[in-house]
């Protein structure tokens, strides 16, 4: 068991885009530091968030343009101003202006030639070149091609013709360097934030999607690792069969891995990917962990996930290689959905904690594994996740019979205090880490939900503002964390 899981802790789930701030989405700005201070005052030791990669138009953090890069939209211009890397910056209210100011910062950085920063910049480019070179070229090309996905590019670019790419690197050198600069600044800002969190005894908990986006630098640069044909079109795609969230399943559309090829070099692609995550986070969750034991393969021509089938994956070999490369890994398995005994065995073999979701607990079966009296220490308990409704919204939409069962289980006479009895239930659980979504701490309803799986509209937009956070919440949380040994 990793040392991080040997004591009881409390955590909060909040993606940085949900932080307050002047732009349409939150950033690594002063409010991120203020949030860490607020967590420390509450006695909360873990800040969990979603993936940090650059997103497509739908803003989904689970379909990023890179498995390594950080989202430039998260970059704080205040951080650049505070370090004299951006002067005469106007008030920025939209991402078009934000992009323009990043380009100004790049030009000022190039002209100033600060020796210390230049050395750090050159070192960053050397250390991260194995992904940064392809990513920055990919992004420059994407701009040149009007934002089109790589599989719609001219064949020579799509298929990475060596002579064409060499010429392209020369022609787009300035834009390539700009995208490298954005990554340099992102990682510098994030390391500062991570250090501040450590000073305040707050661990950063990240999320690594099991799959990468079809339209990503990773797939474009290493097509041989994915189930694509000679034209770059997917043959099979990822998803999950019909389940709690959707009657037709979920067709995610990610290309599947060619596990046989990945295994030949002991999963170097995965090792490098995890190395990046460990630079960013103290704890890493493997999203859709069950896909490491068996994955749902959907013919690419199918519009839904119904006609997929299960194929075994070499998860044991992969995890063994990762543990060899990174001893005592701080991993968490997202073991939700259609979980078989084989998935439990895989997780337990590598001593990874799984997840217990209270919103899944109250089906009337006293043997339901999500009920608190069924929990074990080596697990994480949540009231709900980013894919669930808020706990208040969930409760309000339940049938009366289920609400009565929940009140009976929690010992309630009325439901006016919800969702706090559910939060208290999570904190009282024997699970080593209890994570509460920020929406639940603010007792918000369904209109503040972060994501509805299987839909593409209206997701990833929720944000809080500081006036929503009552002053008494610090003492309330601190008391409960102390009461249940999680302070």
Is the distance from CB of 216 to CB of 65 less than 8 angstroms? Answer: yes
C-alpha neighbours within 13 Å on the C-beta side of residue 107: 7
Separation CA 438–CA 444 (nearest Å) = 9
| Model confidence pLDDT, tens digit, residues 447-466 | 999 999 878 889 999 999 99
- Per-residue pLDDT tens for 214-254? 999 999 999 999 999 999 999 999 999 987 778 889 899 99
> Which of 214, 204, 220, 56 lies closest to 135, judged by CA?
220
CA distance 210 to 101: 34
- Token reading at 51: 């993936």
Per DSSP, the residues of 22-55 read SSSS--SSHHHHHHHHHHHHHT--EEE----SPB
Instruction: For residue 64, give the 3-state DSSP assignment.
Output: strand
3-state secondary structure of 101: helix
Q: How far is residue 417 from each of residues 49, 251, 392, 424, measured CA to CA in Å?
A: 27, 38, 10, 11
Q: Is residue 435 in a domain?
A: no
Query: Does residue 253 form part of some domain?
Result: yes
CB 58 within 8 A of CB 456: yes
CB 446 within 8 A of CB 470: no
Residue range of the domain that includes 229:
222-282+289-328
Mean pLDDT of 116-128: 93
For 420, the token pair is: 């706090």
Q: Residue 55 pairs with which residues in a beta bridge? A: 64
Please check whether residue 34 lies inside any domain of the structure: no
- Confidence class for position 72, pLDDT limits 50, 70, 90: very high
Q: Is residue 273 part of a domain?
A: yes
Q: How many domains does the chain have?
A: 1
Residue 230 and residue 124: Cα distance in Å, rounded? 34
Which segments of 252-380 does DSSP mark as H helices, in order?
259-264, 268-280, 315-325, 341-349
Residue 415 has pLDDT above 90, yes or no: no
pLDDT at 3: 83
Q: List, in order, residues 6 or more apart from 61 with CB less than 8 Å away.
A: 15, 17, 50, 51, 52, 53, 55, 71, 207, 460
Q: Which two tokens stand for residue 64?
A: 């990023």
Instruction: Please state, for a pLDDT cut of 70, what percent of the chain lies above it.
Output: 100
Which residues make Cβ contacts (< 8 Å) with residue 196, sequence separation at least 6?
A: 33, 36
User: Does the residue 10 lie in any domain?
Assistant: no
pLDDT at 242: 87
Query: What pLDDT shows up at residue 2?
Result: 84
Q: Which of 311, 409, 329 is nearest to 363 (CA)?
A: 409
Does some domain include residue 388? no
Does the pLDDT at position 396 exceed 80?
yes
* Helix or strand run (H / E) with residue 11: strand 9-13
- Segment 357-368 shows an average pLDDT of 97
| pLDDT 10s digits, 28-46 | 999 999 999 999 999 999 9
Residue 293 forms part of a structural domain = yes
Q: In the prediction, which pLDDT does 93 show?
A: 87
Q: What's the Cα-to-Cα distance from 173 to each of 86, 166, 176, 186, rounded to whole Å?
A: 22, 10, 5, 20
Structural tokens at position 436: 């509460």
pLDDT top residue among 141 and 2 = 141
Helix or strand holding residue 333 (H, E):
strand 331-333
For residues 451 and 386, give the distance between their C-alpha atoms in angstroms, rounded to a whole number: 6
Nearest to 213 by CA among 261, 252, 182: 252
Q: Which residues are catalytic?
A: 287, 334, 387
Compute φ and ψ for 327, nearest 5 degrees: -60, 145
Is the predicted pLDDT of residue 481 greater than 80, yes or no? yes
Report if residue 83 sits inside a domain. no
Q: What is the mean pLDDT of residues 203-216?
A: 98
Share of the chain above pLDDT 90, in %: 90
């Amino acid at each position: 068991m990793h040392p991080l899981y040997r004591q009881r802790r409390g955590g909060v789930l909040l993606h940085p885009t949900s932080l307050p701030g002047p732009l349409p989405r939150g950033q690594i700005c002063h409010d991120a530091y203020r949030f860490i201070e607020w967590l420390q005052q509450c006695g909360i030791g873990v800040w969990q968030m979603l993936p940090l990669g650059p997103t497509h138009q739908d803003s989904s953090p689970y379909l990023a343009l890179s498995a390594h890069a950080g989202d430039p939209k998260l970059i704080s211009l205040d951080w650049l101003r505070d370090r004299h890397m951006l002067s005469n910056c106007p008030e920025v209210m939209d991402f078009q202006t934000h992009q323009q100011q990043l380009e100004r910062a790049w030009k000022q950085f190039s002209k100033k030639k600060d020796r210390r920063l230049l050395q750090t910049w050159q070192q960053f480019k050397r250390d991260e070149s194995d992904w940064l070179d392809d990513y920055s070229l990919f992004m420059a090309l994407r701009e040149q091609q009007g934002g089109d996905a790589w599989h719609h590019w001219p064949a020579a670019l799509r298929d990475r013709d060596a002579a064409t790419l060499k010429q392209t690197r020369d022609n787009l050198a300035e834009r390539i360097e700009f995208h490298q600069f954005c990554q340099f600044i992102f990682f510098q800002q994030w390391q500062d934030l991570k250090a501040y969190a450590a000073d305040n005894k707050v661990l950063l908990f990240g999320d690594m999607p099991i799959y990468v986006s079809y339209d990503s630098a990773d797939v474009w640069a290493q097509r041989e690792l994915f189930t694509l044909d000679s034209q770059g079109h997917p043959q099979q795609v990822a998803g999950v069969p019909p389940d709690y969230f959707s009657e037709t399943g979920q067709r995610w559309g990610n290309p599947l891995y060619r596990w046989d090829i990945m295994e030949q070099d002991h999963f170097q692609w995965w090792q490098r990917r995890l190395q990046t995550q460990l630079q960013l986070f103290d704890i890493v969750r493997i999203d859709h962990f069950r896909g490491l034991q068996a994955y749902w393969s959907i013919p690419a021509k199918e519009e839904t996930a119904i006609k997929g089938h299960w194929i075994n994956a070499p998860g044991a070999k992969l995890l063994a290689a990762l543990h060899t490369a990174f001893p005592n890994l701080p991993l968490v398995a997202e073991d939700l959905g259609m979980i078989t005994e084989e998935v439990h065995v895989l997780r337990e073999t590598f001593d990874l904690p799984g997840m217990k979701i209270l919103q899944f607990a109250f089906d009337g079966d006293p043997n339901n594994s999500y009920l608190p009296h069924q929990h074990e220490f080596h697990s994480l308990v949540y009231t709900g996740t980013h894919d669930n409704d808020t706990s208040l919204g969930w409760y309000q939409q339940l049938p009366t019979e289920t609400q009565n069962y929940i009140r009976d289980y929690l010992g309630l006479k009325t439901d006016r205090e919800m969702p706090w009895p559910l939060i208290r239930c999570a904190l009282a659980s024997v699970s080593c880490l209890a994570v509460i979504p920020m929406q639940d701490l603010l007792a918000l309803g369904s209109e503040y939900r972060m994501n509805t799986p299987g839909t593409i509209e209206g997701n990833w937009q929720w944000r809080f503002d500081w006036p929503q956070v009552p002053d008494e919440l610090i003492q309330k949380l601190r008391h409960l964390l102390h009461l249940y040994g999680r302070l």
